[in-house]
Amino acid sequence: MKSSKKSSSRRSFIKKTAVAGTGIIAAPTIVSASVFGANDRINAAVLGINGRGKNHISSLMELENVRVATLCDPDMNLLKKGMTDFREKYDKKVNVEQDLRQVFDDKDIDVVSIATPNHWHALSVIWACQAGKDVYVEKPGSHNIWEGRKMIEAATKYDRIVQHGVQLRSSPAVNEAIGLLRDGYIGNVYMARGLVFRWRPSIGDKGTSPVPEGIDYDLWTGPAQKRPFTENLVHYNWHWHWDYGNGDVGNQGIHETDLCMWGLDVGLPTQITSMGGKYLWDDAKETPEVLTSIYNYPEENKIIQFEVRPWCTNTEQDVTVGNIFYGDKGILAVDGYDSYKTYMGQDRTPGKSGSDGGESASGMDRGAGGTTGHFANFIEAVRKHDKSILNGPVETAHLSSGLAHLGNIAYRTGKVLEFDPKAEKFVNNPEADKMLTREYRPGFEVPQNV
């Protein structure tokens, strides 16, 4: 695929979606920002080191003249182990810090990568932008729609580089697939399906317990409402609780919501409905195990279907986690993060296909260069101080996360919702509007004016 096709596809989507929200953003306030030379070392801090943060560390350390200088996590037990592991792997020392605010105050830190729980993402991005740092943030970019828009405002006002951690946007094969959709290879593309069929077992119910020594639970809680400590939250299963996570549509699913919107070249929808529930286990999860959401774009004659399933399931066009696009001449299926196949006509005759190759240690495809390639794109944009070359800019973080949030709101209200993408408000539905934001704890508020 020609690089110009990739650029035009991406820029078309960004141009279209960047104005899909409230419209006018204040003119940028240019802060003093150095443009790095090729030989200038970039010092990075990784916020959240238990899960994806480990991948952030390894990917950043693979890049030329980039150094992970600080590890940050509210769990000192993780930090001690992380510091030891870092020294053994890289034969280098690394600073550790429990409080991310201390990281933002550190003038020696140039960029931060955020792999915290979801409820911390937007405020971390905003604070980092205000401190003059460039940011890589894991999916989802936001925990709710309102704070996602505030991320865009902060990145714009402080002229910062903000990359969203959906690495499939840096996959050559996926970009080639988007080029085929744009060129009409499968005809008039009218529907996209996002599939998240992941093996998700019961988490049980461990009840409450004292906060383990070494964990700053107040910092871990941050912007969310504080609950009694439970191992059902810390460190991974917060994903399945509304105050901290967004279920699997807002976890794994953000890769797929992003690709649905990118492939169809759409922003947020005007009609949403969702159904699902917990059908398998009587455990501590609050989010649905099974969720089917429909996002309708009647003015554009397009529709997105999104399905989350746990446990045993079939594949669909050999896809369990990925996307399927439907046109009047055929279908295009993206499997995972870095490969696609097409099937043409009524007989589904195999057509063009492509793959980057390569596989992560977990068995999930991560694209050509995977997370490292996506970080490389981020660091290139940081060095040039040029957000136009980002593969996953902050606008797409807001919108791909926003699609998941809309599906969850429709599920929680149990209604077919009408939505105004320009105002980013529901139509005559105060109950649903309340779920566009949240009540923030004092000291951890996402600011109205960033």
Question: Tens digits of per-residue pLDDT, 301-323?
Answer: 999 999 999 999 999 999 999 99
- At 37 the pLDDT is 74
- For 409-441, the pLDDT digits (tens) are 999 999 999 999 999 999 999 999 999 999 999
Share of the chain above pLDDT 90, in %: 88
CA 226 – CA 228 distance, rounded (Å):
7
- At 412 the pLDDT is 98
> Taken in order 321, 326, 330, 332, is the CA torsion positive or negative?
negative
CA 254 – CA 401 distance, rounded (Å):
6
Domain 170-205+219-364+400-430: CATH superfamily is Dihydrodipicolinate Reductase; domain 2 (3.30.360.10)
- At 184 the pLDDT is 98
- For 70-82, the pLDDT digits (tens) are 999 999 999 999 9
pLDDT surpasses 90 at 229: yes
- For 126-157, the pLDDT digits (tens) are 999 999 999 999 999 999 999 999 999 999 99
For the record, the structure tokens of 275 come out as 């159904």
| Candidate CATH numbers 3.40.50.11440, 3.90.120.10, 3.40.50.720, 3.40.50.300; the one for domain 21-165+370-389 | 3.40.50.720
Comparing C-alpha atoms, which of 41, 57, 198 is closest to residue 115?
57
Cα angle vertex 109, ends 370, 118, to 5°?
Answer: 55
**Where do the structural domains in the chain lie, given as residue ranges?**
21-165+370-389, 170-205+219-364+400-430
- At 370 the pLDDT is 83
Helices 76-90 and 52-62: angle between axes, nearest 10 degrees = 30
Comparing C-alpha atoms, which of 88, 86, 102 is closest to residue 53?
86
Q: Is 441 exposed, middle or buried (0-12, 13-18, 19+ CB in 10 A)?
A: middle
pTM of the predicted model as reported, rounded to 2 decimal places: 0.91
pLDDT surpasses 70 at 360: no
- At 16 the pLDDT is 42
- At 34 the pLDDT is 57
pLDDT average, residue stretch 171-188: 97
Residue 260 DSSP SS3: helix
